[in-house]
């Protein structure tokens, strides 16, 4: 497998883990709906980036790995200018804080690379854009990979994984999840959204598994 194919495979496994966690805990989430700042929360609808950045921000540390599925990479262009600026500045701040930000593109638009090129140029070691090539997946031995990439067009599990070597820091903030069950292609709105804070994220093995996987693959970049 090429380096790009390895990265695609690793990312797909990560998002599959998040999706399985979502399904397993569905009934539990229905019983525990909270709307408290810095706590886990559920929203029937949000605009692109409006709640995501402030929800993740308190837990982003030096060494954090953040994976954000963005379909065509243009959701931020469909909101008002001030919200777009806040979103872009939020991602930039995370990179400057020492985090690695990975955008996962599943349906590349010709404008996508241009939209993110400045951040890539300014922070080549911390800001990454991964384009999953479903045409190559279609040629793979298993058709399920192509279907999994297609699922990420509208199902968006954004993951924050803290790989800090300091045990106390990692225990305090192991990571978090922002899961959009349905973000239609081309829409600025996402529906059935959940933010999973570190306390709840620690209840599942998904983040720990991703952390181990990313530690082993930390030198692999596009």
The answer to whether 189 and 46 have CB atoms below 8 angstroms apart is: yes
Residue ranges of domains in the chain: 3-216
At 164-177, the pLDDT tens digits run 544 444 445 678 88
The answer to whether 68 and 158 have CB atoms below 8 angstroms apart is: yes
At 33-89, the pLDDT tens digits run 433 345 677 888 887 767 889 999 999 999 998 999 898 888 888 888 888 888 999
Tokens of 48: 């692109």
More confident residue, 68 or 216: 68
Tokens of 128: 């990454």
Is the pLDDT confidence value at 219 over 60? no
Percent of residues in the chain assigned helix, strand, coil, to nearest 5: 45, 25, 30
Q: How many other C-beta atoms can be found within 10 angstroms of the C-beta atom of residue 91?
A: 24
Q: What is the pLDDT of residue 94?
A: 96
Percent above pLDDT 90 for the chain: 17
Is the pLDDT confidence value at 27 over 70? no
Quote the strand ranges of the chain, DSSP E.
41-47, 64-71, 100-105, 127-131, 156-162, 175-182, 189-196
H helices of 104-205, where? 112-122, 134-138, 144-151, 167-172, 198-201
Note the pTM of the prediction, 2 decimals: 0.73
Q: What is the pLDDT of residue 108?
A: 82
CATH fold group of domain 3-216: Endonuclease; Chain A (3.30.870)
C-alpha gyration radius of the chain = 16
Q: What is the pLDDT of residue 30?
A: 45
């Amino acid at each position: 497998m090429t380096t790009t194919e390895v990265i695609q495979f690793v990312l797909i496994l990560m998002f599959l883990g998040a999706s399985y966690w979502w399904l397993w805990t569905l009934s539990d989430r229905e019983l525990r709906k909270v709307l408290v700042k810095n706590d886990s929360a559920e929203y029937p609808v949000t605009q692109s980036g409006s709640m995501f950045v402030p929800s993740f921000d308190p837990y982003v540390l030096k060494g954090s790995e953040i994976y954000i599925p963005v379909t065509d990479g243009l959701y931020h262009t469909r909101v008002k200018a001030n919200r777009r600026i806040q979103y872009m500045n939020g991602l930039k701040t995370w990179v400057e804080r020492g985090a690695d930000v990975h955008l996962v593109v599943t349906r590349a638009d010709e404008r996508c690379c241009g939209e993110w090129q400045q951040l890539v140029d300014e922070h080549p070691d911390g800001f990454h854009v991964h384009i999953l090539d479903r045409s190559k997946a279609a040629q793979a031995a298993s058709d399920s990979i192509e279907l999994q990439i297609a699922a990420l067009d509208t199902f968006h599990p954004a993951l924050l994984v803290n790989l800090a070597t300091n045990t106390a820091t990692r225990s305090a903030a192991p990571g978090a999840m922002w899961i959009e069950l349905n973000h239609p292609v081309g829409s600025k709105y996402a529906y059935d959204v959940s933010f999973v804070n570190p306390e709840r994220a620690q209840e599942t093995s998904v983040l720990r598994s991703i952390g181990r996987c990313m530690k082993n693959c930390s030198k692999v970049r596009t």
